[in-house]
Each structure stands twice: as structure tokens, then as C-alpha cells.
Amino acid sequence: MPEVGGVFIQMEDEIASITSVIGASWAGAKPMTATSGPGFSLMQEGIGLAVISETPCVIVDVQRVGPCQGFATLPMQGDVMQARWGSHGDCRSSIVLAPASPQEMFDLTIEAFNLAERFRTPVIVLSDEIVAHMRERVIMPAVEDLKLENRKKPSVSADEFNFHEFSGCDVTAMPALGSGYRLNILGHLRTQTGRVDIPSQEVPELALRFLSHLSDKILTGEWEARKIKTLFAEDSRTMLISYGSASRTVESSVKEARKAGMKIGCARLVTLWPFPVNQLQAILEDVDNVVVVEMNLGQIVDKVKEVVRRSARVMHIPKIGDLHTTEELLDYVKKVVA
């Protein structure tokens, strides 16, 4: 980081890391931190603070076998639901991206920073042990060629600016600490004027409005980052759904199945949360069989079931600690289409 003009701080634990990231963001920096599953668990309260204070930041979680210490050197996609629901209090304002290659680790990290700035919310890059240790060519453009978004700054004076205002899906401008604006950054429910000493009878309606605002700003509209990448989807009667490193053998299996004359395709979820409901629904509209391939016991399959038509079959192939092999997937698919 220092070699490219950045600052690196080694904190004593993951709790300190996420809170340092929040402080750095309010000082005007574009901050990130990285960890694996157990550290990600420790960060959840801090991620909740980032959500309620609308603090842009990026968290990289390299998933491994768990729970607890599990098996540190083997891969798993076990943190998918934690990335969505990890913090308490109906915290649904984090955006989650799932890279499947070193190139995407680079590209989606940039995308994560842009989304964090645009929506003033934490963005999680949900990787796993396989992608983290992978060696592939990565094309890195010059810094001046990167398409970077900067946070929205106030256009009015400190006397005119209401730091606490919130409304629907609108994202309020974010001044930095020390820039002359009065900032009261807390983890409390607050009113439009910043009050936290709220009469109890007003709390239910206010809580509904404020939590809806935090959610609506990323759920409203079909923003372009809700990405799905497909292969042979146009004429397929059977579709394999995957994300992250599991998608690599899925794609090779589909190519082999096509050589054998089977009308099989695949869809890779690049954006996991908010779940790309409309996009996936359109892809699976005329499909008879849907096979969800995950390195867990089933964390996305239920969301897939919600978007497929009722007459379609939805199946699931779980695996933990290793990638599915091409042979395993081909054998399974042959039975499905037989």
C-alpha cells in the first residue's frame, strides 16, 4: 500500500480493523480490510455500525471451512448468508460481490469501492481459499485509467447542510471530519435532525422509516452492478447456477456437455446480494431443470427456488473443502436429463 501512496495499519484484531476502517472513511479515505471466516464473524457489529452510520467501506472475506476454526486451508462458500444477514437488527444494506478469478478480485474490488461510495454502505468482496491462492494473469490498467467514483460532497455551507437527513432511496452527501461541517456519527437510531433521545411512542414509526431508507437505497432500481454471466443460456433446458470458484468447473462441465449434444447452460452470480431476482428470472424463464452448485450445504439454492417457475425442478449439489470435479457434475447432469 505505501508503494502506491496508500496507508497500511496492522491492528490487534478484526474488531479494531473494521472500526479503524470506519474512522478512516469519515476522515475522507477510501478504506478496506481483509479477513477470513472467523475474523469476518468478529467484524459483524462493526459492519452494523457502518450500515447505520452510512459509512462507505470495503471488506474482503476469503471463506474457508468452518464454523469456528474449522479447517483453515480448505475452501468453502460458507459465509454467503452471513454476508447478507451477519449483523443484528434486520441489517440488509450490504452489497456482496463474488469473484471467480484473480482478475475479478482486482476488477470487483474497484467495483466494490465505487458502489460503496455511490450508496454509502459497506460492500463485501466474498472470495474463498481457492481464488485467494490462484495464480493467473491479471491485467491492471494505469491508475489514471481506472474509473473511480468519488463520494458526494455537500454543495451548501455548514450552516445550511443537514447531515442527518434521510429520505427513501436518496443518498445524502458525506463531508469529512475536520472539513468544517458539524458531524455526529453514532450507532443509534436517529431522527432527521440528529436527535437520539427519541420518545418511545415515536420509535416504531421512525425505526421503520430509517431502516427502510438504509435498505431501499440499494434495493430500489436495477443498478448495473447486479451482474450475472451466462454460457449457452439461449437454448438450454437445463441450467447450472453457481458463483465464485465453484463456477470454474461448472463452466468446463457445460462445455463438455455441449460437445455431447446436451442442451445445458450455466449462469454465474457475480452479485450475490442484493439478489438479482429479475435478471435470473428472465434467464430461467423457459428452463425445465435448475441445478445449483455450491461449496456449502445450501445457501443460495432457496433464493433460486423463489425465482424459477413452479413446473421447473430445482436440485442442489453440495460439496465442502474442495471444488466439484467436471466428472462429478457431468455424471449428475446426465442423470437429470436422462
The string of pLDDT tens digits covering residues 112-146 is: 999 999 999 999 999 999 999 999 999 999 988 98
Residues 85-108 have a mean pLDDT of: 93
The pLDDT assigned to 220 comes to 75
CA end-to-end distance (rounded Å), the chain:
54
- Residue 43 CA, distance from chain mean position: 15
Residue ranges of domains in the chain, CATH in brackets: 1-225 (3.40.50.970), 228-337 (3.40.50.920)
What is the band of 171 on the pLDDT scale with cuts at 50, 70, 90?
A: confident
Residue 105 has pLDDT above 80, yes or no: yes
Q: CA 269 to CA 106: how far, in whole Å?
A: 17
Residue 221 has pLDDT above 70, yes or no: no
Residue 76 has pLDDT above 80, yes or no: yes
> Contact at 8 Å (CB) between 30 and 113?
yes
The pLDDT assigned to 124 comes to 97
pTM assigned to the model? 0.95
pLDDT single digits (tens) 10-58: 999 999 999 999 999 999 999 999 999 999 999 999 999 999 999 999 9
Q: Kindly give, in sequence order, each residue whose CB lies less than 8 Å from that of residue 83, ignoring residues fewer than 6 positions away.
A: 40, 61, 94, 96, 124, 126, 272, 273
- Residue 140 CA, distance from chain mean position: 22
